[in-house]
Amino acid sequence: MVERFVGIDVALREHRIAVLDRDGEAVGPSFTIAASKDGVATLLRTLDARGATAAQTLIGLEASGHLWENLEAALVGAGYRVIVLNPLQTRRYRDVVRRKAKTDDIDAHVIAGLLRSGAAQASYVPDEQIQSLRELARLRARLMADRQDYLRQLVAQLDVVLPEHRTVLGDLLTARARGILAQFPTAQHLAQANPRAIRRAAEDAGARGFSLNDATASATARGARSTVARRRPRALTSCARW
């Protein structure tokens, strides 16, 4: 039989916890723990001190982004039964509990009260492999967004130092363009470079299967000599190396 109902309001840096007994009375004051390994240790010690043993306790927390995942894993590893709740469920109870709890404790009390009511329904929690795949997908999306940001910065700066870059370099995502920019970041650098050095820069960057012959390199240098560009943004070289 469940004797303790624990509601946890999950946040980025710290979590707020409320503990209720079977009658809905608070078992000690609500408390806060850090979102860290030491914070989890404090939570487990406090639960034990309040008679919230793993065998007789039900813990609930909201599926708030990804912040709940480590805490849920730690509590399950300690033997507790944990229910991950959809935030939509807790909103239905918030107005009722609001008059019975302090502002900082509302969400934690709502979750604990929802568990005690027996109406709490566990959200779908994917297994570890699926969670890992989701995390990798989120990371890839962030990296792709960063890549596009760097590309926009590079194009903006090239529009100043080498307005003809679309004709001279073509697609900036190619190894050829990156290699040339890394060695010759401005029109002035290109104008002073010899064709073989330009070809070597492209090949060293991994432009395999694309031979930059002397005629193409000379045309590139001539295009650079006729540019209208007159200044060089400070961060161009670093942008060319993403």
Residues 6 or more apart whose Cβ sits within 8 Å of residue 234:
none
Return the minimum-mean-pLDDT range out of 2-6, 107-111, 158-162, 232-236.
232-236
What is the residue range of 182's domain? 135-239
| Number of domains composing the chain | 2
Whether residue 235 sits in one domain with residue 171: yes
Residues 9 and 116 in one domain: yes
| Domain membership flag for residue 130 | no
pLDDT confidence of residue 60: 93
pLDDT for 149 equals: 92
One domain for residues 165 and 212:
yes
Mean pLDDT of 59-86: 89
Domain co-membership, 107 together with 63? yes
| CA 137 – CA 99 distance, rounded (Å) | 42
Give, in degrees to the nearest 5, the angle at Cα 103 between 43 and 2.
Answer: 45
- Boundary residue ending a domain (102, 125, 148): 125
Q: For the chain, what is the radius of gyration of the CA atoms?
A: 30
Q: Is the pTM of this model over 0.75?
A: no
25 plus 112 within the same structural domain: yes
79 Cβ contact list (under 8 Å, min separation 6): 54, 55
- Report the alpha-carbon distance of residue 94 to residue 172 in Å, rounded: 53
Q: Which of 87, 103, 125 is the endpoint of a domain?
A: 125
pLDDT single digits (tens) 148-161 = 998 898 888 888 87
pLDDT digits (tens, 9 = 90+) for 98-138: 555 555 567 888 888 889 888 777 776 667 788 788 889 98
Measured distance CA(164)–CA(229) in Å, rounded: 9
Instruction: Tell me what pLDDT residue 104 has.
Output: 55
Q: What is the CATH classification number for the domain harbouring 14?
A: 3.30.420.10
Structure confidence at residue 233 (pLDDT): 47
Give the chain's count of helices (H) and strands (E).
Answer: 11, 5
Does some domain include residue 202?
yes
